[in-house]
Amino acid sequence: MAAITAAQPRSSKTESYVDNKRKEDIRQANINAARSVADAIRTSLGPKGMDKMISTASGEVIITNDGATILNKMEVLQPAAKMLVELSKSQDAAAGDGTTTVVVIAGALLKQCLSLLSHGIHPTVISDSLHKASTKAVDVLTAMAVPLELSDRESLVKSASTSLNSKVVSQYSTLLAPLAVDSVLSVVDPAKPDMVDLRDIKIVKKLGGTVDDTQLIKGLVFDKKASHAAGGPTRMENAKIAVIQFQISPPKTDIEQSIVVSDYTQMDRILKEERNYILGMIKKIKATGCNVLLIQKSILRDAVTDLSLHYLAKAKIMVIKDVERDDIEFITKTLNCLPIANIEHFRAEKLGHADLVEEVSIGDAKIVKVTGIKDMGRTTTVLVRGSNQLVIDEAERSLHDALCVVRCLVSKRFLIAGGGAPEIELSRQLGAWSKVLHGMEGYCVRSFAEALEVIPYTLAENAGLNPIAIVTELRNRHAQGEINAGINVRKGQITNILEENVVQPLLVSTSAITLATECVRMILKIDDIVNVRPNIHSRKANPTVKFQDIYGFTVEDNVDDVNVLNEAREKARQQGHLKTSLKSSSLDVCSQEQEGKVPPPQEMREGYKLSGNLKEG
């Protein structure tokens, strides 16, 4: 009786064991993949960080230490690792700077999470604790911040310089930082003082010279020369500028067709009509007083012909052709004019006015410069120069980061110290706060605090200093109340970073911590990866057409030639189409091919005749 009782199945209430091994493995794989991405760019952090040379599939070479650029060019396949690439893009969109910092912090947090998970703490508990810690961290940073006024140009320049000091073009920071500040301040709209649209700052790259030759231009710059055909003018004072979106060339038919002209008198008549058509357009343009034409690039037909350029030169109208469609909005905003889409709408009130439009030689190349624009919109242009394309591209990326830093200060007017000072102070204060918390939360917050030390540790490591000694000394200084003590990588010691003018916007640090925490919480919550593959049986394609694509003939063709059938079957096998799915029960051959049983040509032929047509698999 006792034996029978023992053999009965156990009650469901006592079945508490669940195999979580797969979930743990998936979570660990995700964390390790994301950490490997963070470790790849960790050496690029800080002013003494290393640069990466990226060679793309097309043979293009990029040299940069900008985190967002490096990750954007990396072909990351693992889904969790892709999240870190997206994280860097989010930081670039939110703050513009700190794209390496945010990924390094996320990597350090994931390392701490792995340790907490191994101690048996549930992922949800860790996730909630990280959220609390990041909210507290933002409050601590805000309390540390120093308010700033936009009239304090010197502080804005210091902040832009700090951003540029970690770039390849750091030696030019004294030139690029003031240039970035001036360009952002010139486009701030008094009606919306907290908003800056960086699309109002156009960066034009021109090969030649050095980065020292980079200049801010109050006006417009076109990276192309004026049209010289038929001796047209290349300099125009008191310019009246029109931006046109139509073509000054003979019209074409709406559909592609050819007209055959066999009679010379008819040919002369066509040419005469073309001349009259173009001349009529140019007379209308000249009647408005316009003397500079900006012609949008056309994809339908030639925007201008040699004949129209000849007549425009006779009329003393300066022509700049092939203006990109994307630039039209910026140009019209700058010139305070309207684009003209049709010759019938050409009016004097739609023109822009400038004191001077001239073609300028820069090294071997030429550019067109428009200056002295009347009623100019709130835009500005930066002409970036460099000895080679790699330097120019990196200068543009660095300048973009500096512009973003100034934009952050316009939208949130607070500065904090750099050099690892805020991270160590956060680590100290969160460590003290964790002792007040109860249960698992305290452990999780303490791990969060330890993870933030990765920034000063990495800064010291990349600068060739002893990271353990530096971070220990930094902790000691902060414990004594020196909240602005940070790592001075130039002197290789701990100093008051604010006095060294190493400052950054508050928004960069708060955004980095918030976004990194969000990303880590998301990775923690994932316990499985489900791969969804397309179902070949669900395709609703035309089976006869599909068959024709594979074999080169349809069922209705009734092909009898054995050699043709053999060739078709061999060709299909080489192209990998033998896995196409159709039922063999209906004498259709493709399913037999799928199983590796390819019927002889005679059976194929008989099968086609009997089945009449192919059925969907």
Q: Which residues lie below 8 Å from residue 501, measured CB to CB, with a gap of 6+?
A: 158, 161, 162
With beta carbons less than 8 A apart as the criterion, state whether 558 and 609 touch: yes
Closest CA to 373 of 240, 235, 222: 240
CA quadruple 516, 517, 522, 524: dihedral sign: positive
Closest CA to 293 of 335, 333, 326, 256: 335
- b/e map 297-336, b = 16+ CB within 10 Å: ebeeeebbbebbbbbbbebebbbbbebeeebbebbbebbe
| Calpha distance 487→494 (Å, rounded) | 5
Question: Any idea which residues carry the catalytic annotation?
Answer: 66, 99-100, 401
| Calpha distance 429→426 (Å, rounded) | 5
Q: Which residues lie below 8 Å from residue 492, measured CB to CB, with a gap of 6+?
A: 463, 465
Three-state helix/strand/coil letters over 460-490? HHHCCCCHHHHHHHHHHHHHCCCCCEEEECC
How far does the chain reach from its first CA to its final CA, in angstroms? 58
With beta carbons less than 8 A apart as the criterion, state whether 181 and 406 touch: yes
Q: Which residues lie below 8 Å from residue 219, measured CB to CB, with a gap of 6+?
A: 334, 354, 369, 370, 371, 372, 373, 376, 381
With beta carbons less than 8 A apart as the criterion, state whether 451 and 109 touch: yes
| Calpha distance 26→12 (Å, rounded) | 28
| Residue whose tokens read 């394309």 | 389
Crossing angle of the two packed helices 421-434 and 440-451, in degrees rounded to 10: 170
| Calpha distance 396→359 (Å, rounded) | 24
Closest CA to 417 of 430, 426, 404: 426
What residue type is assigned to position 98 of the chain? G
| Residue whose tokens read 């428009």 | 370
What residue type is assigned to position 580 of the chain? T
Token digits of residue 246:
């139509």
Q: Report long-range pairs for 386-392 (Cβ below 8 Å, ≥24 apart).
A: 386/205, 386/207, 386/208, 386/209, 386/210, 386/211, 387/208, 387/209, 387/210, 388/207, 389/207, 390/61, 390/62, 390/63, 391/168, 391/169, 391/211, 392/205, 392/206, 392/207
Residue 356 backbone dihedrals phi, psi, to 5 degrees: -150, 130
